[in-house]
């Protein structure tokens, strides 16, 4: 059941009175995060759970304005620029959770359940609350600061948990940017090895141990024994994720708790621009191998250390593409525009530098960018969104900029 309240005059919504206000201190941050990074999901909720038509959502602004125990409130400001009325039309909708929230931790699960339901109705790939077990086969450095974990997924992958939320699953072989939320606690007892060459400027006592961390499936392929997979972990000091990856030995098991498909479908046609830092290089590398667009992309690769720019040296455009569109091209060359910063790649200043680097390149190489994908640090992503909107003027559906990490 979904309630809709016309609120042109911003009246206090009567339905809100029947919901339970939540007072968890973390709610404000969670709402700010969703409003900054998950607006497309909120639009999906409005499309699926309300009577609004898709064309009413074009150009509209949506905001999560309240989280109650039983529902979220979404306020939409319609784009009525084409109409003569000078009044901004607003409406608030309440989208009920599948089950009411009693603890802050349950918000994540209830939000994911709404997202799963919406994505299913929209025919989109969605996040999975699935346990997956991998076995470590080997690991090696593939550029100065990038550690490759070589993992296998044995044929029989069930790990004794057959509940609905934790089914065993298959590993996607043809998806770029498919990410796993790895359970670092599972390997905690072995993750305490001394850490040579680590940047000890990060004081461990101030850094709480992370319980889990997202890493992307760099590549996976079928073998006679099951599936083999690569996961590339950027080592940037004495941190939970890096220490977890360094400590893993052949034969260790590794468990993930959640799986997350990346939004890359818009890249199938047009001139694409991909911008990666060290954490999103694995996604971009797989995108390139699976490239299924006749036009090769422009890749802007930003690394702190010049030595990590070699990451793309062994990547060939379209080698694993299903239709072999790009691989069949005479010229399956893609351009990497390197940007070496000699500092941690975070914040607004990096966004300005990326924008300037791109502007300089486009002055000497006049390309019309039609599509864009990137994943960066939160502050950089926020600033770059505005800058690239001004520079490229792309529609919301053609421009994806994700947050892969957050600088403290
Ligand atoms: C969907 C998704 C996919 C991802 N895929 C990958 C992947 O394939 N490979 C990969 O390496 N990362 C990937 N990441 C990013 C990774 O999850 C984060 O960088 C994570 O914060 C690393 O955890 P940590 O324990 O090393 O550091 P944290 O515990 O997060 O932080 C410890 C300290 O390190 C700093 N820090 C964190 N990340 C970085 C960084 N990248 N550079 C510099 N300083 C940093 C923090 O500011 C803090 O001071 C992905 C993230 C998402 C959301």
User: What are the pLDDT digits (tens) for 209-255?
Assistant: 899 999 999 999 999 888 999 999 999 999 999 999 999 999 999 99
- For residue 304, the model assigns a pLDDT of 98
pLDDT confidence of 257, banded at 50, 70, 90? very high
Query: Which tokens in the block code for residue 177?
Result: 């940017």
d(CA 180, CA 169): 12
Residue 283 has pLDDT above 60, yes or no: yes
Closest residue by Cα to residue 268 from 330, 216, 321, 328:
321
* Cα-to-centroid distance, 280 and ligand 1 (Å): 10
What stretch of H or E contains 15? helix 14-17
Residue 16 pLDDT: 76
Judged against a pLDDT cut of 70, whether residue 388 lies above it is answered with yes
Determine the pLDDT at residue 330: 47
Domains of the chain (ranges, CATH numbers): 3-122 (3.20.180.10), 132-260 (2.40.30.10), 266-405 (3.40.50.80)
Higher pLDDT, 65 or 167: 65
For residue 376, how far is its CA from the centre of ligand 1 (angstroms)? 10
Q: Which residue has the higher pLDDT, 173 or 169?
A: 173
How many whole angstroms from its chain centre is CA 165? 21
| Mean pLDDT score, 22-49 | 94
**Average pLDDT for residues 18-37, to the nearest whole number?**
92
What's the confidence (pLDDT) of residue 241? 97
Q: Is the predicted pLDDT of residue 161 greater than 50, yes or no?
A: no
pLDDT of residue 123: 95
pLDDT of amino acid 328: 54
Does position 356 have pLDDT exceeding 90, yes or no?
yes
Q: Which of 11-15, 51-55, 200-204, 246-250 has the lowest mean pLDDT?
A: 200-204
Q: Is 242 in the pocket of ligand 1 (CB under 6 A)?
A: yes
Going through 78-155 in order, the beta strands assigned E by DSSP cover 90-96, 132-143, 146-154
At 188, the pLDDT band (50, 70, 90 cuts) reads confident
Q: Where residue 165 falls among pLDDT bands split at 50, 70, 90?
A: very low
Show the CA angle centred on residue 38, arms to residues 405 and 272, nearest 5°: 75
**Residue 54 pLDDT more than 90?**
no
Answer yes or no: is the C-beta of 407 below 6 A from any ligand 1 atom. Answer: yes
User: How confident is the model over 117-152, as pLDDT tens digits?
Assistant: 999 999 999 999 999 999 999 999 999 999 999 999
Strands, E, within 16-78: which ranges? 61-67, 71-77
Confidence of residue 13 (pLDDT cuts 50, 70, 90): low
For the Cβ of 404 lying below 6 angstroms from any atom of ligand 1, the answer is yes
pLDDT of residue 79: 79
Residue 157 has pLDDT above 70, yes or no: no
Is 103 exposed, middle or buried, given 0-12, 13-18 or 19+ CB atoms closer than 10 A? Answer: exposed
Distance CA 341, CA 305 (A): 7
Tell me which residue has its CA closest to atom 53 in ligand 1.
Answer: 404
Distances (CA, A) of 129 to 112, 153, 158, 226, 390: 9, 18, 14, 22, 37
Atom of ligand 1 nearest to the CA of 213: 17
Q: Look at residue 361 in the predicted model and tell me its pLDDT.
A: 97
Question: What six digits make up the tokens of 108?
Answer: 């994540």
CA of 84 to the centre of ligand 1 (A): 48
Find out whether the beta carbon of 52 lies less than 6 Å from any atom of ligand 1.
no
Phi–psi pair at 199, nearest 5 degrees: -80, 105
Q: Output the CA 147–ligand 1 centroid distance in Å.
A: 13
Closest residue CA from atom 1 of ligand 1: 179
- pLDDT above 80 (res 98): yes
What is the average pLDDT score of the chain?
Answer: 88
Q: From 232, 246, 142, 224, select the one nearest 180 (Cα to Cα).
A: 232
Q: Is the CB of 233 under 6 A from ligand 1?
A: yes
Name which of 158-172, 263-277, 383-397 the model is least confident about: 158-172
Q: Is the pLDDT of residue 10 over 60?
A: no
pTM: 0.88
Residues 66 and 31: their CA atoms lie apart, in Å, by 8
Q: How confident is the model at residue 396 (pLDDT cuts 50, 70, 90)?
A: confident
| Per-residue pLDDT at 169 exceeds 70 | no
Convert the pLDDT of each residue in 332-347 to its tens digit: 789 999 999 999 999 9
Averaged over 82-100, what is the pLDDT?
82
- On the 0-12 / 13-18 / 19+ scale of CB atoms within 10 A, 385 is middle
Give the Å distance between the CA of 208 and the centre of ligand 1: 14
């Amino acid at each position: 059941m979904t309630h809709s309240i016309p609120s042109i005059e911003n009246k206090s919504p009567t339905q809100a009175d029947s919901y339970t206000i939540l007072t968890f201190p973390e709610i404000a941050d969670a709402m700010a995060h969703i409003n900054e990074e998950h607006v497309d999901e909120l639009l999906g909720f409005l499309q699926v759970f309300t009577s609004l038509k898709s064309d009413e959502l074009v150009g509209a602004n949506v905001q999560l304005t309240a989280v109650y125990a039983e529902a979220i409130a979404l306020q939409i400001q319609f784009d009525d620029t084409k109409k003569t009325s000078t009044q901004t039309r607003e409406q608030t909708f309440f989208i009920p959770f599948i089950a009411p929230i009693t603890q802050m931790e349950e918000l994540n699960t209830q939000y994911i359940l709404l997202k799963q339901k919406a994505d299913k109705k929209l025919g989109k790939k969605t996040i999975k609350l699935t346990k997956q077990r991998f076995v470590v086969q080997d690991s090696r450095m593939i550029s100065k600061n990038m550690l490759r974990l070589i993992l296998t997924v044995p044929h029989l992958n069930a790990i004794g948990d057959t509940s609905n939320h934790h089914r065993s699953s298959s590993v996607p072989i043809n998806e770029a940017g498919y990410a796993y939320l790895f359970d670092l606690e599972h390997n905690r007892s072995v993750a305490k090895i001394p850490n040579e060459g680590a940047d000890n400027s990060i004081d461990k006592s101030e850094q709480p141990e992370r319980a889990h961390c997202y890493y992307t499936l760099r590549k996976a392929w079928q073998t006679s024994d099951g599936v083999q997979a690569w996961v590339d972990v950027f080592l940037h000091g004495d941190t939970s994720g890096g220490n977890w990856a360094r400590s893993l030995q052949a034969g260790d098991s590794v468990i993930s708790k959640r799986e997350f498909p990346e939004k890359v479908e818009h890249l199938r046609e047009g001139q694409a621009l991909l911008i990666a830092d060290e954490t999103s290089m694995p996604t971009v590398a797989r995108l390139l191998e699976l490239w299924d667009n006749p036009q090769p992309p422009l890749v802007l690769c930003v690394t702190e250390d010049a030595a990590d720019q070699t990451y793309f040296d062994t990547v060939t455009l379209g080698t694993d593409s299903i239709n072999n569109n790009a691989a069949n091209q005479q010229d399956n060359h893609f351009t990497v525009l390197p940007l070496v910063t000699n500092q941690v790649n975070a914040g607004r200043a990096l966004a300005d530098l990326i924008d300037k680097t791109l502007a300089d390149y486009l002055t000497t190489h006049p390309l019309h960018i039609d599509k864009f994908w990137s994943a960066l640090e939160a502050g950089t992503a926020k600033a770059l969104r505005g800058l690239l909107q001004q520079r490229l003027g792309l529609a919301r559906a053609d421009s994806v900029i994700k947050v892969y990490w957050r600088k403290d």
